[in-house]
């Protein structure tokens, strides 16, 4: 667990120990809920998202053109047997469970209507931030077999322009995970705090959905919707001040999180041995913390997020 120390007056020292609490911000992903272009039923055209090129082995004489293996559809009206109750907006996409079928988007990707990149997706992996991709998924479509995988990933383009995966999650089809086709289940991909030495530091972020099924299990289709990408920073203790024998500082974090504020005179001691000063619910994102018994000797503080 990393520790960042800030020296203060009167020998008092504050310490921030990142412990899962984050200052989160939503990053814009163009056409994140697949509402464009608008279709009255289905369309193989998806704005802002690029399809993987047809591999040499795929035979388009088998009933489906490669371009038809991914597309968008309009959700059915409420009350219909196949209505998706938590569809974000009116549309979602399908992705066939066939090897190498994929949709992706990054700074340099193109779509069906734009031969040149629009550069609309301009998010980067910034040093000091962590990232979380969340996607709604429904499996079992078209009699898909149990155990069929789908990989959700975050990537950057390497020097050759190829996708280099930073983090991924494999969704495995099963009736237990997807008991019906009327409700999207959220799956997430997490990237830990980006370090200056990471190959992806400063690189543009890419999002990809890739069918990794083998030929023996191919068949059926996935539905996907509501792509969410968030960047987060660790919580901090800031604005230290000493007056009248009291020590104050500000806890900054994502609003609504609760923390134990811990203190010790020995920063080398395990956090489990630190003393709880108070419990704070950070309703607004900035909470003032006061130690009414601050000592002249060194004091150290940390915020530990509560469940």
**Predicted confidence (pLDDT) per residue in 46-76, tens digit:** 999 999 999 999 999 888 999 999 999 999 9
Band of residue 15 on the pLDDT scale cut at 50, 70, 90: very low
Which pLDDT belongs to residue 162? 97
- How many other CB atoms sit within 10 Å of the CB of residue 297? 9
pTM, two decimals, is 0.79
| Share above pLDDT 70 across residues of the chain, in percent, rounded to a whole number | 91
**23 or 8: which leads in pLDDT:** 23
Cβ atoms 216, 157 nearer than 8 A: no
Which tens digits make up the pLDDT trace of 101-137? 999 999 999 999 999 999 999 999 999 888 999 999 9
Q: How many CA atoms lie within 13 A of 183 on its CB side?
A: 6
Task: Report the C-alpha gap between 112 and 110 in whole angstroms.
Answer: 7
The tokens describing 206, both together, are 């890419």
Q: In DSSP terms, which residues pair with 243 in a beta bridge?
A: 246
User: Which of 4-13, 161-170, 241-250 bottoms out in mean pLDDT, i.e. has the lowest?
Assistant: 4-13
Spell out the CATH class of 4-21+234-305: mainly beta
Q: Reply yes or no on whether the pLDDT at 7 is more than 60.
A: no
Helix (DSSP H) and strand (DSSP E) numbers for the chain? 0, 20
User: Which residue ranges make up each domain of the chain?
Assistant: 4-21+234-305, 24-233
Average pLDDT, the chain: 90
Contact residues for 216 (Cβ-Cβ < 8 A; gap 6+)? none
Q: Which whole number is the average pLDDT over 154-180?
A: 98
Q: Tell me how far the alpha carbon of residue 29 is from its chain's centroid.
A: 11
Cβ atoms 3, 289 nearer than 8 A: no
Pairing state between β 149-157 and 163-172: antiparallel
Coil, helix or strand at residue 273: helix
Q: Which CATH number describes the domain made up of 24-233?
A: 2.60.120.260
Q: Reply yes or no on whether the pLDDT at 302 is more than 70.
A: yes
Region for 182 from its dihedrals, namely left if φ exceeds 0, alpha if ψ lies in -120 to 50, beta otherwise: alpha
Backbone angles phi, psi at 60, to 5 degrees: -75, 0
Task: Report the C-alpha gap between 50 and 110 in whole angstroms.
Answer: 6
Band of residue 297 on the pLDDT scale cut at 50, 70, 90: low
Q: How many CA atoms lie within 13 A of 198 on its CB side?
A: 23
Which residue has 């969704």 as its token pair?
171
Task: Report the C-alpha gap between 210 and 151 in whole angstroms.
Answer: 5
| Share above pLDDT 90 across residues of the chain, in percent, rounded to a whole number | 71
DSSP 272: G
Q: Reply yes or no on whether the pLDDT at 6 is more than 70.
A: no
**148 or 282: which leads in pLDDT:** 148
The tokens describing 197, both together, are 């030495």
């Amino acid at each position: 667990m990393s520790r960042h120390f800030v020296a203060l007056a009167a020998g008092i020292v504050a310490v921030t120990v990142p412990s899962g609490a984050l200052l989160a911000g939503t990053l814009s992903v163009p056409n994140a809920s697949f509402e464009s272009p608008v279709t009255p039923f289905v369309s193989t055209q998806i704005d802002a998202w690029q399809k993987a090129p047809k591999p040499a082995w795929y035979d388009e004489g088998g009933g489906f053109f490669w371009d038809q293996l991914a597309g968008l559809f309009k959700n059915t009206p409420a009350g219909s047997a196949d209505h998706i109750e938590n569809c974000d907006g009116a549309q979602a996409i399908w992705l066939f469970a066939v090897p190498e079928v994929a949709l992706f988007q990054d700074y340099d990707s193109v779509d069906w209507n734009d031969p040149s990149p629009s550069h609309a997706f301009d998010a980067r992996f910034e040093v000091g931030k962590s990232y979380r991709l969340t996607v709604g998924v429904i499996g079992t479509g078209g009699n898909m077999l149990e155990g069929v995988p789908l990989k959700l990933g975050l990537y950057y383009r390497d020097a050759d322009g190829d996708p280099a995966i930073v983090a991924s999650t494999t969704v495995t089809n099963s009736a237990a995970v997807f008991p019906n086709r009327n409700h999207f289940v959220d799956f997430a991909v997490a990237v830990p705090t980006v370090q200056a030495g990471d190959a992806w530091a400063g690189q543009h972020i890419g999002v990809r959905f890739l069918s990794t099924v083998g030929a023996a299990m191919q068949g059926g289709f996935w539905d996907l919707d509501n792509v969410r990408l968030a960047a987060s920073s660790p919580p901090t203790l800031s604005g230290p001040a000493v007056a009248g024998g009291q020590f104050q500082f500000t806890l900054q974090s994502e609003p609504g999180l609760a923390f134990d504020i811990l203190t010790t005179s020995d920063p080398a001691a395990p956090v489990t041995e630190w003393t709880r000063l108070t419990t704070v619910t950070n309703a607004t994102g900035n909470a003032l913390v006061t130690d009414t018994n601050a000592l002249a000797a060194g004091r150290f503080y940390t915020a530990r997020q509560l469940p």
